[in-house]
Structure 1
Amino acid sequence: MTVVIALLKAKPDCVDEVEQRLRDLQRRTRDEPGALEYAVHRRDSGGFLLYERYVDQAACDAHFAAPYVTEFLHETERWLEEAPRVEFGHVLVSFQPV
């Protein structure tokens, strides 16, 4: 399983717009083959934390190649104070509550 954690810091006047765009990305990602989870967390600082899980690296790569994702990433300069910080990893151990 491939995991993505991303941190985004919205410009003060763009926080609500970034939130709406992230909600749209979440809705679209839900229908992607191999997407297991896409959680968007809003931080008090006006930043956002994203947690994504995919069945494998190929599904993650397909997500990042999707036109709506590449468009979002291309346009982030207008809404974010800095480039998104994105980290990738592979699940070693996990638990899911019943």
Structure 2
Amino acid sequence: MRAGAGEVVRVRPIDGHDGWALEEAARSRSEPFPSHGVWAGVGRVRVDDGEGSEKMSSVIIVHYKVKPGFEEHVAHSLARMVEPTRAEPGNLAYNVCRSPQDPAVFAIYEEYVDAAAVTAHASSDYFEHWLKNETLPYLEERRRHDLVAL
């Protein structure tokens, strides 16, 4: 599904709580969101650096295929990453999704204000525990895409 201007895409993250995948990111806006200094438009997010210039956000999309028998273990581990990651000062979005057709398939959409925020995320204790130790060893396949918002 593709969101158009003014539309919001609804998702059901694996932690069971309803959430907004793009929140207001699909809405055309001319002013920043108060808490993040972020302008959003269809398919792009610009981050105000507070000094009158802009930088493009860092986006990571990962796809996981879990080894048979470890689907629920990985689902639990990924769900534990959501709250602390969303609380990071440099995090703009962190959405974990699971395929309804194949419970072994997961996708994560992450967006950070810059590369430094990505590095800070990857250096966290919860990343080390829940992702490196409790998720990655149980994967059959892993694809990661490092992107920059246009």
Which residue pairs with 2:117 in the alignment?
59
| 1:1-98 to 2 correspondences below 5 Å | 1-43=57-99, 44-45=101-102, 46-71=104-129, 72-75=131-134, 76-77=136-137, 79-82=138-141, 84-92=142-150
Which residue pairs with 2:52 in the alignment?
none
Structure 2: runs of 5+ lacking an equivalent: 1-56
Q: Which has the higher helix share?
A: 1
Q: Which contiguous aligned blocks of 4+ residues in structure 1 show a shift greater than 6 angstroms?
A: none
| Deviation at residue 11 of structure 1 after TM alignment | 1.5
CA RMSD of aligned residues (A): 1.3
Structure 1: runs of 5+ lacking an equivalent: 93-98
User: Which one has more relative contact order, counting CA pairs under 8 Å at least 6 apart?
Assistant: 1
Quote the Cα distance in structure 1 between the aligned partners of 2:127 and 2:116: 15
TM-score normalised by structure 2 residue count: 0.56
| Identical-pair percentage | 37
